[in-house]
Amino acid sequence: MQTSSKQIKSALISVYHKDQLETIVRLLNTHGVAIYSTGGTLKFIKDMGISATAVESSTGFPEILGGRVKTLHPNIFGGILARRDNPEDIQQLEQHQIGTIDLVIVDLYPFEETLRTSTDEAEIIEKIDIGGISLIRATAKNFNDTLIVSDRDQYAEFIELLGKKKGFTDLEDRQLFAAKAFMTSSHYDTAIFNYFNKKGALPVFKQSFNASKTLRYGENPHQKGTFFGELGEVFDILHGKELSYNNLVDVDASLNLIAEFTEPTFAIIKHTNSCGLASRETLKEAYLAAFACDTSSAFGGVLACNRLVEADTAAEINTLFFEVIIAPDYTPEALEILKQKKNRIVLKLNKKSDNKTMYKSLLNGVLLQDVDWSTEKKGDFNSVTTVKPSTEQLSDLEFAIKAVKHLKSNGIALVKNRQLIGMGCGQTSRVDALESAIKKAAAFGFDTNGAVMASEAFFPFPDCVSLAYQAGIKAIAQPGGSIKDKESIDEANKNGQAMVLTGARHFKH
Query: Which segments within 136-178 are labelled E, that is strand?
Result: 147-149, 168-169
The single residue of 31, 141, 341, 494 carrying the catalytic annotation is 141
- What tens-digit pLDDT sequence spans the chain (509 residues)? 456 889 999 999 999 888 889 999 999 999 999 999 988 899 999 999 999 888 877 776 677 677 666 677 888 888 899 998 899 988 988 898 888 999 999 989 888 889 888 888 889 998 888 888 999 999 999 999 999 999 998 999 999 998 899 889 999 999 999 999 999 999 999 999 999 998 888 898 889 888 889 999 999 999 999 999 999 999 999 999 999 999 999 999 999 999 999 999 999 999 999 999 999 999 999 999 999 999 999 999 999 999 999 999 999 999 999 999 999 999 999 999 999 999 999 999 998 888 888 999 999 999 999 999 999 999 999 999 999 999 999 999 999 999 999 999 999 999 999 999 999 999 999 999 999 999 999 999 999 999 999 999 999 999 999 999 999 999 999 999 999 999 999 999 999 999 999 999 999 99
The pLDDT, as a whole number, for residue 343 is 94
Dist. CA 275–CA 285, nearest whole Å: 17
Q: What is the CA radius of gyration of the chain?
A: 31
The pLDDT, as a whole number, for residue 1 is 40
- Could you write out the DSSP letters of every residue in 56-74? HHHHS---BGGGTBSS-SH
**What does each C-alpha distance from 206 to 145, 197, 366 come to in angstroms?**
32, 10, 10
Dist. CA 269–CA 304, nearest whole Å: 8
The pLDDT, as a whole number, for residue 40 is 87
The single residue of 31, 46, 187, 271 carrying the catalytic annotation is 271
> Is the previous residue joined to 449 through a cis bond, with omega within 30 degrees of 0?
no
Our answer to whether residue 271 is catalytic in this structure is yes
The pLDDT, as a whole number, for residue 354 is 81
Phi, psi values for residue 27, rounded to 5°: -65, -45
Among residues 504, 268, 282, the alpha carbon closest in space to that of 382 is found at 504
